Amino acid sequence: MRKRVTDTASQGSEKSDGDRQFVTSLHRGLEILRAFRPADKAGLGNSELAERTGLPNSTVSRLTFTLLKSGYLVYDEGTGRYRMGVPVLSLGYACLAGMQVRETAQVYMQELADEAGDGVLVALGGRDDMAITYIAAARSEGVISLQLSVGSRISLARSAMGRAYIAGTTEAERAEIIERIRERTEPDRLQEILDGIEDACEQVRTRGFYCNIGGWQRDVHAVSVPYRSQQPDTPMLAFNLGGYGFSLTKDRLENDLGPKLVNLVNMVSRVGY
Q: Domains plus CATH for the chain?
A: 2-89 (1.10.10.10), 98-271 (3.30.450.40)
Instruction: Give residue 57's identity as a one-letter amino acid code.
Output: N
Question: Does position 97 have pLDDT exceeding 70, yes or no?
Answer: no
Residues 6+ apart with CB under 8 A from 242: 120, 121, 123, 146, 160, 220, 221, 222, 223, 224, 248
Q: Alpha helices of the chain — where are they, by DSSP H?
A: 2-16, 24-34, 46-53, 57-69, 86-97, 100-116, 160-168, 171-184, 187-207, 250-252, 258-271
DSSP state of 122: E
Sheet holding 153-155, edge to edge: 153-155, 131-139, 121-128, 237-244, 220-227, 210-213
State the pTM of this model.
Answer: 0.78
Whether the CB-CB separation of 84 and 70 falls below 8 Å is answered with: no
| Average pLDDT score over residue span 186-199 | 95
pLDDT of residue 11: 44
Do strands 153-155 and 210-213 pair parallel, antiparallel, or not at all (unpaired)? unpaired
Mean pLDDT lowest among 88-97, 227-236, 264-273: 88-97
pLDDT of residue 98: 67
In Å, how far are 31, 142, 210, 221 from 114, measured between CA atoms?
37, 10, 21, 17
In Å, how far are 17, 132, 221 from 235, measured between CA atoms?
25, 12, 26
Query: Per-residue pLDDT tens for 157-179?
Result: 999 999 999 999 999 999 999 99
- Estimate the crossing angle of helix 187-207 against helix 160-168, to 10 degrees: 60
Do strands 73-76 and 131-139 pair parallel, antiparallel, or not at all (unpaired)? unpaired
Whether the CB-CB separation of 246 and 230 falls below 8 Å is answered with: no
Top-ranked range on mean pLDDT: pick from 23-32, 36-45, 70-79, 194-203:
194-203
Residue 233 or residue 152, greater confidence:
152
Instruction: Identify the band that residue 273 occupies on the pLDDT scale cut at 50, 70 and 90.
Output: low
**Helix, strand, or coil (residue 189):** helix
Query: Per-residue pLDDT tens for 28-62?
Result: 999 999 888 877 888 999 999 999 999 999 999 99
DSSP symbols for 28-70: HHHHHHHT--TT-TT-B-HHHHHHHH---HHHHHHHHHHHHHT
Q: Would you say the C-alpha torsion 129, 273, 119, 205 has a positive or negative sign?
A: negative
